[in-house]
Structure 1
């Protein structure tokens, strides 16, 4: 069974490399076949390794995040469906927030909160998000409100990942946090390319960081308590 699980990871890596190749070559017509397979194969991997926690909120939330991510990938293949794709990924991040919150020790314990210290801890997350917004703001136009909402949600997703520090094992924390932060970087590159200044390397950078982010998040959640 373990070898079968690993097979899905190999498929994920294979289709990811193929999609990156098509992206670099500008073969958008072929990406209709390769891009949807990335999250689909990663989703099958998570489905297999999470059977021992079937029915739990963590499994449902993570599968929800993967389903919405897959839907977002498909929708963003068509530029005129951008807002729908943005909405799908927003829902994916909400599912990730739930997943990160409950995959830690005593997730709902309320203790003393030092807001100044909390702000300083999260400052490395706020700064790149703020810079990205500063750059893209003039070019947002009618997309301003949905993009601002999206930025707030993804920043919340990354800060929720950071708040797991000391509340899970080191491997789980770092993989989830780096994955969440990389996801934000990927979206930031996409936004800058769309709304500020297009540059030729953007599509490969967006997909490369996105693929890495999804893999790290899955492996980080797995490292918390799942057995693959």
Structure 2
């Protein structure tokens, strides 16, 4: 059964590649059919391989993150609904934060915190986010507050992924951390294209990094609980 589940990953990659090709061609009409199909195989894959986590909050939050991502994918097909798509992905990131927190040893243990060291550890995450905000800030207008909230949440997701260092298996840590960072990069490219300076390659770069990020996160969480 485990071997059969990998076919869902193949389907995820196939649908993702088809959508990338349509994106490169600017075929937005056909993307109405391809984009809503992307996350479904990945969600089914995770649901199938995580049956040993049935009833756990970790499984529920991971499935919820993929569900909100699916909703966001659909809503963002319609530019006039951008704010709703932002809200869907905001919820997805919150679910990922909870998942990353739960998929580590002693997740709620409160020890001595060195805030200077913590800041330095997270600096490689903060710097690109600060640069993106600096560039897009003049053009945010009424979107400033929603964008700031969204950025704070995705920064929390990335820093929570980094927090898992030495609190899970190395494979799980690196897959999740790289996936979370790439997700942040994907959203950064989208923000620069919308609020700084549009560039033709942005759509392909956004979807390419998004596809990779989602896959890495799912495989990283899988690696945490699979022997």
**TM-score, structure 2 as length reference:** 0.99
Alignment match, 2:154: 154
Alignment match, 1:53: 53
Alignment match, 1:204: 204
Alignment match, 1:82: 82
**Runs of at least 4 residues of structure 1 off by over 2 A?**
none
Alpha-carbon distance, 1:52 to partner: 1.0
Alpha-carbon distance, 1:148 to partner: 0.4
Structure 2 residue runs of 5 or longer lacking an equivalent are: none
1:155-213 deviation digits (Å, cap 9, x = unpaired): 00000000000000100000000000000000000000000000000000000000000
SS in structure 2 at match of 1:86: helix
1:104-140 deviation digits (Å, cap 9, x = unpaired): 0000000000000000000000000000000000111
Task: Please list, as runs of the form range in 1=range in 2, the aligned pairs for 1:145-184 lying within 5 A after superposition.
Answer: 145-184=145-184
Alignment match, 2:214: 214
Alpha-carbon distance in structure 1 between the residues aligned to 2:226 and 2:40 = 20
Alpha-carbon distance in structure 1 between the residues aligned to 2:169 and 2:6 = 23
Alpha-carbon distance in structure 2 between the residues aligned to 1:39 and 1:86 = 17
Alpha-carbon distance, 1:218 to partner: 0.1
Alpha-carbon distance in structure 2 between the residues aligned to 1:178 and 1:77 = 26
Alignment match, 1:102: 102
SS in structure 2 at match of 1:224: helix
Alpha-carbon distance in structure 2 between the residues aligned to 1:209 and 1:119 = 26
SS in structure 1 at match of 2:69: helix
Structure 1 residue runs of 5 or longer lacking an equivalent are: none
Matched-pair contact (CA < 8 Å) for 1:12–1:42: yes
Alpha-carbon distance in structure 2 between the residues aligned to 1:3 and 1:28 = 35
Alignment match, 2:41: 41
- Give the aligned CA root-mean-square deviation in angstroms: 0.7
SS in structure 2 at match of 1:167: coil
SS in structure 1 at match of 2:38: helix
Alignment match, 1:32: 32
1:188 aligns with 2:206: no
Alpha-carbon distance in structure 1 between the residues aligned to 2:146 and 2:152 = 10
Alpha-carbon distance in structure 2 between the residues aligned to 1:161 and 1:211 = 18
Alpha-carbon distance in structure 1 between the residues aligned to 2:31 and 2:226 = 32
1:12 aligns with 2:7: no
Alpha-carbon distance, 1:2 to partner: 1.7
